[in-house]
């Protein structure tokens, strides 16, 4: 896997101050994509154990609330193994820090529908996630007032609650219409 960028002290992609990893490679090709350069799986730098250690060091800061994976597409078959290895190490070192991921795939139809490669890897990937923001960016549904998502079709999903319930459970750490956090 290659990655495009690591953002430290990111406040745009999940609650609190976070570390965000932008992976390379995405086959969705959404019209109006914010990050077209990362469609190419060869874009950026190779993701190595040294990169993992860099992320672990960034996460050691007490003010950092967690890690966010975005792209590109974290759930592409080619990207899942390296991300699962990263999350395994992050969870071991910092079990209290939250893990968010963004995906253009739909959790119920595509990911739980087992359409994205070896299920064992996808299942382990999901086991580490607190929240998944799913669905492609749809330019006609773009809404700049939404936090943590670009278009209104995208869902903020509580992954552990969804897996336990066997149906989509939205993340409800919100006030009112979902535009502000507690
Ligand atoms: S899923 Fe994200 S990175 Fe991929 S094309 Fe759509 S907006 Fe761009």
- Residue recorded with tokens 């139809």: 109
Tens-of-pLDDT digits for all 182 residues of the chain?
999 999 999 999 999 999 999 999 999 999 999 889 999 999 999 999 999 999 999 999 999 999 999 999 999 999 999 999 999 999 999 999 999 999 999 999 999 999 998 999 999 999 999 999 999 999 999 999 998 999 999 999 999 999 999 999 999 875 433 443 33
Cβ contact 51:99 at 8 Å: no
Query: Ramachandran region of residue 162, left (φ > 0), alpha (ψ -120 to 50) or beta?
Result: alpha
Give the residue, out of 20, 31, 32, 35, with the most ligand 1 atoms within 8 A of its beta carbon, to mutate for a pocket test.
Answer: 35
Q: Check residue 35 and give its pLDDT.
A: 87
How many Å lie between the centroid of ligand 1 and the Cα of residue 70? 9
Q: How many residues does the chain have?
A: 182
Tell me, letter by letter, the H, E, C secondary structure of 115-153: CCCCHHHHHHHHHCCCEEEECCCCHHHECCCCCCCCECC
Cβ contact 67:99 at 8 Å: yes
- The DSSP secondary-structure symbol of 32 reads T
| Sheet of strand 98-103, all strands in order from the earlier edge strand to the far edge | 45-46, 2-10, 17-23, 64-70, 98-103, 131-134, 155-158
Residue 48 to residue 65: CA distance in whole angstroms: 23
Q: Check residue 174 and give its pLDDT.
A: 55
Q: Tokens in use for 60?
A: 């050691």
pLDDT (tens digit per residue) in 45-69: 999 999 999 999 999 999 999 999 9
Which atom of ligand 1 sits closest to the CA of residue 71?
3
- The three-point CA angle 148-153-159 to 5° equals 60
* Helix, strand, or coil (residue 87): helix
Cβ contact 131:100 at 8 Å: yes
* Helix, strand, or coil (residue 49): helix
Residue 15: CB within 6 Å of ligand 1? no
pLDDT (tens digit per residue) in 136-159: 999 999 999 998 999 999 999 999
pTM above 0.85, yes or no: yes
């Amino acid at each position: 896997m290659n990655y495009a960028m690591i953002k430290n002290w990111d406040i745009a992609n999940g609650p609190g101050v976070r570390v965000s990893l932008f992976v390379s490679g995405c086959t969705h090709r959404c019209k109006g994509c914010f990050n077209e350069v990362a469609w190419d799986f060869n874009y950026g730098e190779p993701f190595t154990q040294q990169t993992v250690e860099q992320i672990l060091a960034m996460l050691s800061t007490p003010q950092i609330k967690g890690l966010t994976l975005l792209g590109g597409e974290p759930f592409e078959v080619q990207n899942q193994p390296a991300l699962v290895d990263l999350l395994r190490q992050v969870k071991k070192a910092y079990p209290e820090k939250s893990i968010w991921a963004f995906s253009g795939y739909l959790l119920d139809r595509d990911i739980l529908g087992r359409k994205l490669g070896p299920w064992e890897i996808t299942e382990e990937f999901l086991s580490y996630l607190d929240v998944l923001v799913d669905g492609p960016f749809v330019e006609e549904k773009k809404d700049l007032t939404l936090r943590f998502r670009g278009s209104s079709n995208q869902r903020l999903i509580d992954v552990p609650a969804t897996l336990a319930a066997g149906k989509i459970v939205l993340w409800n750490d919100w006030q009112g219409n979902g535009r502000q956090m507690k």
